[in-house]
């Protein structure tokens, strides 16, 4: 029995169709364009924070002081958050003059969040977000989430998941241009 071959033009056409479908899926899925989903400077500056140490609520723009910032979103019920907090504290101690660090408790009663801050030895400022504005602004799906913010309020990256000390140092270098 003789085998029948498909015409070359048919094979080329089928290959083109498959490539078009693959490109369409990548484009519709968002591709690699994370910058389009990052909040702008005005939105970041307007995010209202409630300090855990007391005092009036204040916009994040008032907390930024001409230095880049690492904003760590956490919760007392999040084990990876608790695990990474001492590493954040160590990097904060090393880079505190060059990079601001802040913690933001998401969907957490203040007393629970403060308990974790005290247990982990964190000394950088921590805040609460009673209305989950940060979750919405930064598109938080899972915790921990770490936001890297330039001194002018530009968000350069939003990282979801636990960071080790080495990963955090590398990200601070890559995203904020500060190395230890």
- Residue 67's pLDDT band (boundaries 50, 70, 90)? very high
The answer for residues whose C-beta is within 8 angstroms of residue 85's C-beta and 6 or more apart is 72, 74, 103, 116, 117, 120, 121, 122
- The pLDDT > 70 percentage for the chain reads 80
User: What value does the mean pLDDT take over residues 21-47?
Assistant: 62
- How high does pLDDT run on average in the chain? 84
DSSP state of 41: H
Q: Is the peptide bond before 144 cis (omega within 30 degrees of 0)?
A: yes
Q: d(Cα 173, Cα 2) in Å, to the nearest integer?
A: 64
pLDDT score, position 4:
67
Domains in the chain: boundaries: 39-176
For 39-176, CATH gives 3.40.30.10
pLDDT in tens, 137-155: 999 999 999 999 999 999 9
Q: Does the pLDDT of residue 121 top 50, yes or no?
A: yes
């Amino acid at each position: 029995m003789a085998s029948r071959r498909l015409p070359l033009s048919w094979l080329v056409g089928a290959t083109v169709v498959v490539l078009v479908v693959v490109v369409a899926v990548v484009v519709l899925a968002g591709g690699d364009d994370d910058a389009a989903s990052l909040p702008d400077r005005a939105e970041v500056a307007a995010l209202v924070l409630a300090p855990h140490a007391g005092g009036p609520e204040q916009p994040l723009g008032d907390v930024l002081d001409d230095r880049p910032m690492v904003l760590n979103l956490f919760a007392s019920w999040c084990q990876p958050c608790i695990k990474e907090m001492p590493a954040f504290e160590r990097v904060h101690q090393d880079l505190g003059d060059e990079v601001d660090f802040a913690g933001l408790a998401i969907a957490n009663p203040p007393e629970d969040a403060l308990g974790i801050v005290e247990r982990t030895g964190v000394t950088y400022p921590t805040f609460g977000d009673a209305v989950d504005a940060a979750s919405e602004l930064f598109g938080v799906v899972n915790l921990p989430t770490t936001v890297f913010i330039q001194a002018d309020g530009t968000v350069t990256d939003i990282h979801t998941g636990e960071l080790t000390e080495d990963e955090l140092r590398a990200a601070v270098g890559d995203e904020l241009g500060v190395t230890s």
